[in-house]
Amino acid sequence: MTDDTPGRFITLEGGEGGGKSTQAKRLAAVLKGTPGEILLTREPGGSPGAEQIRGLLVDGEVHRWDAITETFLHFAARRDHLVNTVQPALARGDWVISDRFADSTMAYQGYGHGVDKDAIAELYRICVGDLKPDLTLILDLPVEAGLARAAGRGGGEDRYERMDVSFHERLRQGFLEIARLDPARCVVIDATGDEDAVHAQIIAAVRSRLALPSAS
């Protein structure tokens, strides 16, 4: 891509244990064969200020925040990420691949916790504006399978994983509803298969939606 060519913005979404981080890295490796730099980032996080907020959201007790406070924290992190990381990269004509973006707030806080969806949409307008991902890949699998995978990877940052199963069921249905309402942007990926099978679906979607050459 050249300096006067806008970059492309790809987001990976879905519930816990879907393999978003792994698949984002594999997609980035494929895109290295195309013109333009590749920026691999994440939410919450992706900029110094947003990474500080991330710790407040993904660690600690499950009920440390109420749903509205949680929503504002996510959008505060998102604004910092957008201004300091995403927008500059897109302006350079880079590929931006983000492990989560605003659909996660709508799914987790809107569908999962019951925060008013119109209010979340208004916060998006204020904090993000007209920018939308060029392609959103929603990695979908049954809740119990996803939580089992997430538990198996160990480590911290498990605050959301420890929320009850009914919450995870609501957010899964939320992601599927988001995809249904915006089919031009979203592709649902069956994440029940192995890593290679999921990767193949993702590459097929990127090639189809964003005209990525088959030889890349």
pLDDT tens-place string over residues 77-133: 999 999 999 999 999 999 999 999 999 999 999 999 999 999 999 999 999 999 999
Nearest to 191 by CA among 155, 148, 134: 148
The whole-angstrom separation of Cα 8 and Cα 93 is: 7
Contact 81, 43 (CB under 8 A): yes
Contact 11, 138 (CB under 8 A): no
Cα dihedral 64, 73, 112, 114 sign: positive
The whole-angstrom separation of Cα 51 and Cα 100 is: 14
The whole-angstrom separation of Cα 28 and Cα 42 is: 13
The pair phi, psi for residue 40, each rounded to 5°, is: -105, 120
Taking the domains of the chain in order of start, what are their residue ranges? 8-210
Neighbouring C-beta atoms of residue 114, cutoff 10 Å: 11
The whole-angstrom separation of Cα 80 and Cα 53 is: 10
Architecture field, domain 8-210? 3-Layer(aba) Sandwich (3.40)
Give mean pLDDT, residues 148-166: 86
Is residue 1 very low, low, confident or very high in pLDDT (cuts 50, 70, 90)?
A: very low
Range among 35-39, 95-99, 155-159, 160-164 with highest mean pLDDT value: 95-99
Is residue 211 very low, low, confident or very high in pLDDT (cuts 50, 70, 90)?
A: confident
Is residue 213 very low, low, confident or very high in pLDDT (cuts 50, 70, 90)?
A: low
What pLDDT does residue 36 have?
A: 83
The whole-angstrom separation of Cα 140 and Cα 99 is: 14
The whole-angstrom separation of Cα 35 and Cα 125 is: 31
